[in-house]
Amino acid sequence: MDCETLLQQVLDLGAYRAAVIPMADVGFDRSFRAMCESNACGSYDKCWMCPPSVGDIDELIRQAQGFDHILVYQTVGRLEDSYDFEGMMEAARRHNLLTRELTKRFSDLPFAGKLHLGAGGCHMCSVCAKRTGEPCRHPELAIPSLEAYGINVSELAEASGMKYINGKDTVTYFGALLFSET
């Protein structure tokens, strides 16, 4: 399996756009951790893959920078209008289905190192086990977010030749596969 084959697989699974860039082109910003701590999304300390459980920001950045490449992918959902909450939920559901399928395929690939990062907190379970005080139910499938690793997604989109926002009445979600072939 090479980069081009993996890229084609991601597109075949339904990504709107996907691109592989060197990890060295990705910018990191440790101030994202303060944003998570402000708990604007309500997931702070409520998900095993979100801060603080996911780990120290500097350690995660160091870990991510240790990979050679990043395959960035995005999905785009069409909305009836900017208040179309059901459309947003449907787009998120389809993005999560793609993410799950990719997680399975990615785990079978013979890369020397790999890490899958997603959009927002982990969405593998309808309610994260962290909320009920239990251990993670699927540690092999659990996906931390790009932001938890200090990655600025709008800058990542630009570095990958993609738009962060894809037009009026659309919603765009991102994910990324970090890997080293040797």
- Chain Cα centroid distance, residue 82: 23
Choose the binding region for ligand SF4 from 14-22, 87-95, 106-114, 132-140 (rule: CB under 6 A): 132-140
Give, in order, the Cα–Cα distances in Å from 112 to each of 27, 65, 72, 88.
23, 15, 19, 36
Question: Nearer Cβ to ligand SF4, position 108 or 140?
Answer: 140
Choose the binding region for ligand SF4 from 31-39, 56-64, 82-90, 136-144 (rule: CB under 6 A): 136-144
| Residue 136 within binding range of ligand SF4, rule CB under 6 A | yes
Q: Taking CA 148 as the corner, what is the angle to CA 154 and CA 83, rounded to the nearest 5 degrees?
A: 55
Give CA torsion, residues 18, 24, 30, 32, to 10 deg.
-10
- Which string of x and - marks every residue 101-130 that binds ligand SF4 (by CB under 6 A)? ---------------------x-xx--xxx
Question: Nearer Cβ to ligand SF4, position 49 or 156?
Answer: 49
Give CA torsion, residues 89, 176, 102, 137, to 10 deg.
-70
The letter for the amino acid at 110 is P
Binders of ligand SF4 among residues 27 to 56 (CB under 6 A) are 47-49
- Which string of x and - marks every residue 163-182 that binds ligand SF4 (by CB under 6 A)? --------------------
Q: Which residues is 177 bridged to in the sheet?
A: 71, 116
Contact residues toward ligand SF4 (CB under 6 A) are 47-49, 122, 124-125, 128-130, 136-138, 141-142
